[in-house]
Structures are given as structure tokens and as C-alpha cells.
Homo-oligomer: A and B are copies of this chain.
């Protein structure tokens, strides 16, 4: 559990880490659109991720719902001291996705401050991301909720 590689990355290398460090994520072709403190947006391509009827496969949308927590963690918290853990993911599918799909996750400054304070005082903290997954026309194809914990690394 002690690969701290990501804790030593320069900020400009973080998107590539998110896109490529985990082979199962890399295989989807997911792209980071923007990562900064408290903010991450990502795009999942339809190409290569179709189901048997040509829309985006649900399992890929589940992955797209999971990734923002790790991306936000890396762009917001000290990855040399802490690790993120996903505790739960829920996705409700609203309509078939017939194009690339984007997700944007954000922590308010107050939420970021709460987490920083809890990490300092308790060594761990939890947060929830509720996001919309949207097609290129801005239509919501799915709604997600993901629960994460951040805690001191061993």
C-alpha cells in the first residue's frame, strides 16, 4: 500500500497520472479536461466504450462516476501524507448516452476547509460527490453519488 509515486508528481503531471496510472482506466480512453484545487472535470469517449446496441456501456459510466474522487483528491490534498478510499458508488441511469460523456466534481471552499481541518485533527475525513453525467448536448444521462474517505497513509 506504499506506492507514493503520485505524491511526488508535479501538478502538471497529475492529469496524465489520472488517465494512465490504472490500466483499467487507461483502457477506457478517459481524458481529464481540467484539474485544480477543489475541481475536476473528465470526459469519457463513446468510441471503444459502446455496448452491443451502440450506446455507452453502463459499466464505463460507473467508472466515470468513480474517477473524479481520486482526481479531486490529487489536485486538492497532500498525496505524500494521505490516501483516498472509495467507500461507495451509486449511479442512476437516466437515458442512453449516444455521445462522449463528461462529469464535473467540485468541493466548495468550506467543504475543502472542513476536510483539511479534520485531516489535521483526526487524520481522516469523509466527503461525498454528487454529480451529473452529461452528453455533448448537456443532457443528463446519469446521476452519481460517490462516498470517499481520505486518511493518513501507512
A interface residues (Cβ-Cβ under 8 A, vs B): 1-3, 5-6, 21-25, 27-28, 48-54, 57-60, 62-63, 65-67, 85-93
Contact = CB atoms under 8 A, between A and B. Distances in A.
Interface of A is mostly: mixed
A28 B22 CA distance: 13
A83 to B, nearest CB: 8
A92 to B, nearest CB: 5
Contact of A51 (B22, B53, B54): B22
Contacts of A88: 90-93
A31 B120 CA distance: 44
A6 B87 CA distance: 35
A27 B25 CA distance: 11
B63 A3 contact: no
Contacts of A66: 58-59, 62
A22 B89 CA distance: 22
A87 to B, nearest CB: 6
A101 to B, nearest CB: 13
15 contacts: A2-B53, A22-B57, A23-B49, A23-B50, A24-B57, A24-B60, A25-B57, A58-B66, A59-B63, A62-B66, A85-B93, A87-B92, A87-B93, A88-B93, A90-B91
A113 B57 CA distance: 28
